[in-house]
Amino acid sequence: MSTLDSPERGPATLAGPPPRILVLSAPYYRDVVDGMLRGAQRVFADVGATVEVAEVAGGFELPAALAMAMKVPGRWDGYLLLGCVVKGETDHYTFICDAICNGVMNVATASAAAIGFGLLTVDSLDQAVARSRDDRMNKGGEAAHAVLAQIALVRGWGIAG
């Protein structure tokens, strides 16, 4: 495995009942985000998860949508955020990426919720496509594994959702 390869992962596992997952999708780059969603759904299928998908206008809206979803108590065991921001010629990319990442981290640490963060921040659309294909490089699948690991922590530590 080179330093650029993603780890080879087997089927996902999770003790307890099948989880309920909310996927918040920012499909500005529809093909890329849909590819990441397919990767995540394959991982969630391994554990029999119930998956609900809600779309937001763009990546900037992901943190607020996450905060809104958390106002619905007990409905979901975990949250997966999917989106893509491609670098352009202005500083807009930097401001948007920083705002999204900081916003999600603020919600995550304040809520102690199980969150998987699948936001591609790339220099080109080609890089995004390479990370959304149906292979082990799929970042949606990686983020799905992450949220399942977070759910396992929540369950293991007996934290109320």
Provide φ and ψ at 37, rounded to 5°.
-65, -40
User: Which one of the listed residues 9, 30, 75, 92 is annotated catalytic?
Assistant: 92
Is 28 within any annotated ligand binding site? yes
Is 59 within any annotated ligand binding site? yes
Active-site residue flag, 145: no
Is 86 within any annotated ligand binding site? yes
Spatial separation of the C-alpha atoms in residues 36 and 48, rounded to whole Å: 18
Is 3 within any annotated ligand binding site? no
Vertex 102: Cα angle to 98 and 104 (nearest 5): 120
Structure tokens at 16: 């307890």
Is 89 within any annotated ligand binding site? yes
Is 44 within any annotated ligand binding site? no
Is 131 within any annotated ligand binding site? yes
- DSSP string spanning 5-71? SPPP------SSSPPEEEEEE-GGGHHHHHHHHHHHHHHHHHTT-EEEEEE-SSGGGHHHHHHHHTT
- Give catalytic residues, as residue numbers: 92
Question: Binding site: which residues?
Answer: 28, 59-61, 84-86, 89-90, 117, 131
Question: Binding site for (2S)-2-hydroxy-3-oxobutyl phosphate: which residues?
Answer: 89-90, 131
Question: Binding site for 5-amino-6-(D-ribitylamino)uracil: which residues?
Answer: 28, 59-61, 84-86, 117
